[in-house]
């Protein structure tokens, strides 16, 4: 089984606009779709669509927390959240023809130190039956910046494999605990090393730096260019075919889902990269996050190329 951790859960609202967005005016939304969000819940849906057993954990609170759980029930994703006093946030993704996708992400509610401690105490029991743990996204206010490092250490001590997908201080601290996989995108490595990245050689250079800190698989996602993997066998790039994308929100999360499934199935590193690129790119063809048509994913999988760099 795969457990996905989402500390900053969210009701994700996708606003589909028929007209071009004009700032400073009243805009009527043509269609709205709510989904259980926060990166780890997109990961959970992608894993489920791949056909593997998954459970979601993290923090949920208030009316939005209850709504979130009801959305997960519709998605048939099992969950075990710690219920907190604060309210689960909302995140808005505005989709229009002119700008594509514009996201407004709320920071999340304040969480008490005692609630963080309670989650960490329950964590070993929650992940007990899982082989793979994914940890994704931001944390709400009040949560310690080394919480992911603590979870990674505990999960590794219990013999689990861990995939970390986060940014900034949480990523920096998390890397110190040596998760099995990290999946930053280009912006996230720029932030981590305070540099600007212009070439694939730059990407390789910084991915290697992370690898040298004891991370067995470093996967850098590169949008339409696919993803780069640095691992013991070398450096590889997985490239998807050219696609008419519909909504790229949740592509990184779907990639984490694909990587988790690949670890669960003991794929080789090149097979894992190919599979993860296919799942992520299939998500770009769906209007929904952490969603794809399995037959489309199969077709993309046959067209993904993996080459050694
Ligand atoms: N325009 C696109 N065309 C095809 N695949 C895409 C596109 N954008 C994203 N993807 C797929 O999703 C993966 C993750 O996307 P990326 O945007 O890098 O992640 P993140 O959401 O973390 O920023 C890519 O490696 C690729 O497989
Ligand atoms: O947990 P974070 O980092 O604040 O991000 C939350 C939001 O990011 C999203 O996963 C989208 O992120 P991506 O576009 O990077 O895949 C939303 O679904 C979600 O609610």
pLDDT of residue 103: 94
* Rounded distance from Cα 254 to ligand 2 centre (Å): 11
pLDDT of residue 221: 97
| Mean pLDDT of the residues in the chain | 97
For atom 7 of ligand 2, the residue with the nearest CA is 38
Percent of the chain with pLDDT over 90: 94
b/e per residue, 146-167, with b = 16+ CB within 10 A?
A: bbbbbbbbbbbeeebbbbbbbb
Distances (CA, A) of 103 to 35, 99, 117, 154, 242: 14, 11, 31, 33, 24
CA distance 37 to 84: 17
CA 61 from centroid of its chain's CA atoms: 21
> Is residue 307 pLDDT above 90, yes or no?
yes
End-to-end CA distance of the chain: 33
Q: Which atom of ligand 1 is nearest to the CA of 226?
A: 25
**Contact (Cβ atoms closer than 8 angstroms) between residue 93 and residue 249:** yes
Nearest CA to ligand 1 atom 26: 226
CA atoms of 59 and 8, how far apart (whole Å): 7
Note whether ipTM > 0.85 here.
Answer: yes
- Which residue out of 12, 96, 165, 253 is catalytically annotated? 253
Tens digits of residue pLDDT in 118-137:
999 999 999 999 999 999 99
Phi, psi at 213, each rounded to 5°: -85, 10
How is residue 43 written in tokens? 């990961």
Evaluate whether 226 touches 237 at the Cβ level (below 8 Å): yes
Task: Find all residues with CB under 8 Å of 137, minimum gap 6, and list them.
Answer: 6, 7, 8, 38, 39, 40, 165, 166
| Tokens encoding 65 | 């927390």
Q: Name the band, by pLDDT with cuts 50, 70 and 90, for residue 61.
A: very high
Residue ranges of domains in the chain: 2-308
User: What is the rounded CA–CA span in Å between residue 242 and residue 277?
Assistant: 12
Q: Quick one: which ligand is closest to 10's CA?
A: 2
In whole angstroms, what is the distance from residue 99 CA to residue 36 CA?
24
Burial class (CB in 10 A: 0-12, 13-18, 19+), 23: exposed
CA 207 – ligand 1 centroid, Å: 17
Pick from 8, 141, 249 the residue to mutate for probing ligand 2's pocket: most ligand atoms within 8 Å of its CB.
Answer: 249
CA distance 134 to 50: 15
Across 88-105, average pLDDT = 93
Find the 255 Cα to ligand 1 centroid distance in Å: 8
Is 38 touching ligand 2 by the criterion CB < 6 Å? yes
Whether 165 sits among the annotated catalytic residues: the reply is no
Contact yes or no for 88/118 (Cβ under 8 A): no
Q: Which residue out of 166, 188, 197, 224 has the highest number of ligand 1 atoms within 8 Å of its CB and is therefore the one to mutate?
A: 224
pLDDT digits (tens, 9 = 90+) for 69-84: 999 999 999 999 999 9
Residue 242 has pLDDT above 90, yes or no: yes
Q: Please give the CATH superfamily to which domain 2-308 belongs.
A: Ribokinase (3.40.1190.20)
Model pLDDT for residues 150-209, shown as the tens digit of each residue: 999 999 999 999 999 999 999 999 999 999 999 999 999 999 999 999 999 999 999 999
* 99, pLDDT greater than 90: no
């Amino acid at each position: 089984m795969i457990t996905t951790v989402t500390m900053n859960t969210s009701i994700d609202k996708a606003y589909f606009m028929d007209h071009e967005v004009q700032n400073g005016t009243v805009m009527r939304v043509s269609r709205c779709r709510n989904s259980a969000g926060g990166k780890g819940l997109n990961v959970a849906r992608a894993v489920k669509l791949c056909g593997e057993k998954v459970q979601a954990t993290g923090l949920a609170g208030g009316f939005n927390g209850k709504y979130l759980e009801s959305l997960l029930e519709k998605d048939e994703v099992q969950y075990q959240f710690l219920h907190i006093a604060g309210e689960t946030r909302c995140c808005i993704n505005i989709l229009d023809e002119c700008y594509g996708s514009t996201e407004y992400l709320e920071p999340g509610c304040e969480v008490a130190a005692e609630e963080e401690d309670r989650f960490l105490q329950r964590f070993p029991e929650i992940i007990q039956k899982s082989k793979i743990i994914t940890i994704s996204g931001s944390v709400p206010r009040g949560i310690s910046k080394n919480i992911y490092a603590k979870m990674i250490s505990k999960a590794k001590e219990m013999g689990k494999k861990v995939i970390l997908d986060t940014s900034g201080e949480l990523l920096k601290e998390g890397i110190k605990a040596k998760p099995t996989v990290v999946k930053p995108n280009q912006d996230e490595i720029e932030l981590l090393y305070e540099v600007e990245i212009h070439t694939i050689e730059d990407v390789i250079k910084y991915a290697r730096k992370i690898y040298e800190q004891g991370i067995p698989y470093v996967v850098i996602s590169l949008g339409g260019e696919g993803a780069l993997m640095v691992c013991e066998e070398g450096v590889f790039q997985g490239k998807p075919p050219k696609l008419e994308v519909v909504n790229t929100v949740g592509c990184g999360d779907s990639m984490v889902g694909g990587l988790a499934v690949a670890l669960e199935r003991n794929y080789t590193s090149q097979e894992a990269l190919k599979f993860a690129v296919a799942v992520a790119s299939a998500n770009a063809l769906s209007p929904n996050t952490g969603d794809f048509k399995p037959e489309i994913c199969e077709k993309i999988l046959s067209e993904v190329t993996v080459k050694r760099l």
